[in-house]
Amino acid sequence: MTEQNYRRSKLKTAYEECPIYGITGGSRDVVTLVKAMLEGGIRIIQYREKHKTPMIRYHEALALRQLTNLYGALLIIDDYVDLAIAVEADGVHIGQDDLPPTVVRRIVGNEMIIGWSTHKIEDIEAANRYADSIDYIGVGPIYATQTKPNVYPVGLAYVRYAAQHSVLPTVAIGGIKIHNASAVWAEQPTMICAVSEITEAEHMADVIEQLWCKTVLVL
């Protein structure tokens, strides 16, 4: 098995076990938050804590590395390629304003998963050209969201386009809630990400189950 096939097999195993992509955020202790996500069944965790100091991020990411290993889950680091390498994460997620995917691939090597955010059709076309370097794409924001307040919502049609034209797995993200998850799943993304709906949930396992059950209703 090639290194590319290996990392994509790891990714596929994780999202087939649970197609909900978890991202950290909110006011809760990040380790407590992620443990609840993992206990709720999520098997892909993205550590995204831009406002914290590098040292705090390092120690939190180390703790999450141990925790995700314990649950057999993937740890993806948002933006910080150096941090992903330092804690031996499974992957790194980058955006349109970060280093190009081919450069990131050279830095992290061939075993680490790389995700790339997309916001328009041209981004998907570029992602297809970078398909040797990246392993999945983020698609969004689908709806208006406080997580990305300055980014214009792309709508469900973009999710549909990505599902039909991307050669890589897709993660629909942005403003997704229990009440609109069915509409998102109907456009056939590979995974969905509902950040605040999960991180702010009082009963997280119930929310994850309700978001996940939407897949049964539309497939």
- The catalytic residue among 65, 105, 117, 166 is 117
Q: In what order do the strands lie in the sheet with 191-193?
A: 21-23, 44-47, 74-78, 91-94, 113-118, 136-139, 170-173, 191-193
Verify whether residue 48 is a known catalytic residue: yes
CA 215 to chain centre: 17
**7 membership: H or E segment, kind and range:** helix 3-17
Verify whether residue 27 is a known catalytic residue: no
Report the DSSP beta bridge partners of residue 137: 116, 170
Maximum alpha-carbon separation in the chain: 44
Residue 102 tokens read as 């081919």
- The catalytic residue among 8, 28, 148, 160 is 148
- The catalytic residue among 48, 57, 65, 214 is 48
Verify whether residue 50 is a known catalytic residue: no
Q: How far apart, in whole angstroms, are the C-alpha atoms of residue 102 and residue 129? A: 10
Residue 210 tokens read as 């309700």
**Nearest residue to 115 via CA among 203, 10, 1:** 10
Beta-carbon contacts of 34 under 8 Å, excluding residues fewer than 6 positions away, are 22, 24, 45, 64, 67, 68
Active site positions, annotated: 48, 117, 148
